[in-house]
């Protein structure tokens, strides 16, 4: 008999339910709602008793542009691979859910004998990266849940959108050179849109990093010197180049693709859910 048939596991609907409830930042000691079997006890007990009382009640939205989903009403085939990327609107944690079928699976679920996947915990691929195998003979499906923290923290958001800080950057930009005109007081939403555009420009197909002068009015209005540490941590580079025998400081828009995927999703959702200030 197959080893997996003797192991406890979860059907696909139950595993997905637990994956949505799982918060890697807030877990119960010695218990993982995602990988462990349900806590035995009162059948009428609330499911919330199996998660930390401070765990986020996630509200996930799917990033359709960067997901690879199966066609509607299609059936799994050997060697097929699919991926779903989601972002929680509340805590902004990212979930990368992937499933792949090996080349030896002759009868992927669902089929006449096994109408549902039954997943058995396989092991940890990373601190917040979990893998499961389907116990059905001949299915060959491996499911992966990878959680990752947002690149931008709550403190970063406050720095970017707090009206007083945005106003201070505007005043500093105007005060740098009273002879320059055309400065505009940026709104918090405009600041987020600019960051989103910088991230997109960092990944132009030609691979050439775009430069923005540090003295650029729109850059100073929204970011100034206050956000230098934040931009550097996100992967942007501050450089000094000699142009016409003068030393010019610029921001080089280059960033890692793994970071870009998370940042673009964050900026897009934050811009569209943020209340006007």
Same domain? For 201 and 251 the reply is yes
Same domain? For 10 and 106 the reply is yes
Mean pLDDT of 9-36: 90
Last residue of a domain, one of 148, 179, 201: 148
Query: Contact, 77 vs 108, CB < 8 A?
Result: yes
Same domain? For 135 and 9 the reply is yes
Same domain? For 7 and 143 the reply is yes
Alpha-carbon gap, residue 246 to 62, rounded angstroms: 48
Q: If you count them, how many residues does the chain have? A: 277
pLDDT of residue 276: 37
| Mean pLDDT, the chain, whole residue set | 80
Return the H-helix or E-strand segment holding 109: none
Question: What total number of domains does the chain contain?
Answer: 2
Res. 177 pLDDT band, cuts 50 70 90: confident
Same domain? For 219 and 165 the reply is yes
pLDDT in tens, 188-217: 889 988 888 887 777 666 655 677 887 888
Other beta carbons less than 10 A from residue 237's beta carbon: 14
Last residue of a domain, one of 98, 127, 148: 148
pLDDT in tens, 109-167: 988 999 999 999 998 888 889 999 999 988 999 999 999 988 888 889 899 999 999 99
Same domain? For 129 and 9 the reply is yes
Same domain? For 101 and 237 the reply is no
Same domain? For 49 and 137 the reply is yes
Instruction: Lowest mean pLDDT of 36-50, 80-94, 104-118, name the range.
Output: 36-50
Alpha-carbon gap, residue 175 to 21, rounded angstroms: 50
Last residue of a domain, one of 148, 164, 184: 148
Instruction: Lowest mean pLDDT of 35-44, 74-83, 210-219, 265-274, name the range.
Output: 265-274
Res. 88 pLDDT band, cuts 50 70 90: very high
Same domain? For 48 and 138 the reply is yes
Q: What is the radius of gyration, based on Cα positions, of the chain?
A: 24
Same domain? For 120 and 173 the reply is no
Instruction: Lowest mean pLDDT of 29-33, 208-212, 266-270, name the range.
Output: 266-270
Return the H-helix or E-strand segment holding 118: strand 118-126
Mean pLDDT of 44-50: 61
Same domain? For 199 and 120 the reply is no
Give the global pTM.
Answer: 0.71
Q: Which residue has the higher pLDDT, 69 or 28?
A: 69
| 274 has pLDDT over 80 | no
Other beta carbons less than 10 A from residue 9's beta carbon: 18
Same domain? For 259 and 123 the reply is no
Q: Which residue has the higher pLDDT, 165 or 43?
A: 165
Nearest to 200 by CA among 94, 271, 274: 271
Domain span including residue 135: 3-148
């Amino acid at each position: 008999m197959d080893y997996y048939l003797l192991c406890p596991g979860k059907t696909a609907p139950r595993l997905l339910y637990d994956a949505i409830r799982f918060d890697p930042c807030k877990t119960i000691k010695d218990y993982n709602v995602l990988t462990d079997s349900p806590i035995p006890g009162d059948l009428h007990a609330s499911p919330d008793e199996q998660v930390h009382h401070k765990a986020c009640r996630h509200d996930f939205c799917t990033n359709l542009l960067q997901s690879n989903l199966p066609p509607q009403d299609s059936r799994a085939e050997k060697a097929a691979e699919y991926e779903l990327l989601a972002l929680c609107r509340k805590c902004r944690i990212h979930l990368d859910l992937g499933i792949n079928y090996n080349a030896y699976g002759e009868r992927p679920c669902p089929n006449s004998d096994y109408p549902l996947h039954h997943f058995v915990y396989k092991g940890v691929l990373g601190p917040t990266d979990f893998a499961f195998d389907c116990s059905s003979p001949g299915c060959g499906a491996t499911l992966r849940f990878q959680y990752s923290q947002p690149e931008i923290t709550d403190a970063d958001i406050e720095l970017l959108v707090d009206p007083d800080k945005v106003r201070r950057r505007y005043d500093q930009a105007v005060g740098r050179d009273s002879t320059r005109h055309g400065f505009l007081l940026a709104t918090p939403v405009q600041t987020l849109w600019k960051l989103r555009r910088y991230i997109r420009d960092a990944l132009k197909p030609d691979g050439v990093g775009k430069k923005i002068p540090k003295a650029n009015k729109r850059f100073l209005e929204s970011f100034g010197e206050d956000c230098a540490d934040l931009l550097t941590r996100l992967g942007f580079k501050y450089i000094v180049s000699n142009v016409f025998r003068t030393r010019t400081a610029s921001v080089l828009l280059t960033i890692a693709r793994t970071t870009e995927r998370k940042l673009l999703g964050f900026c897009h959702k934050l811009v569209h859910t943020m209340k006007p200030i």
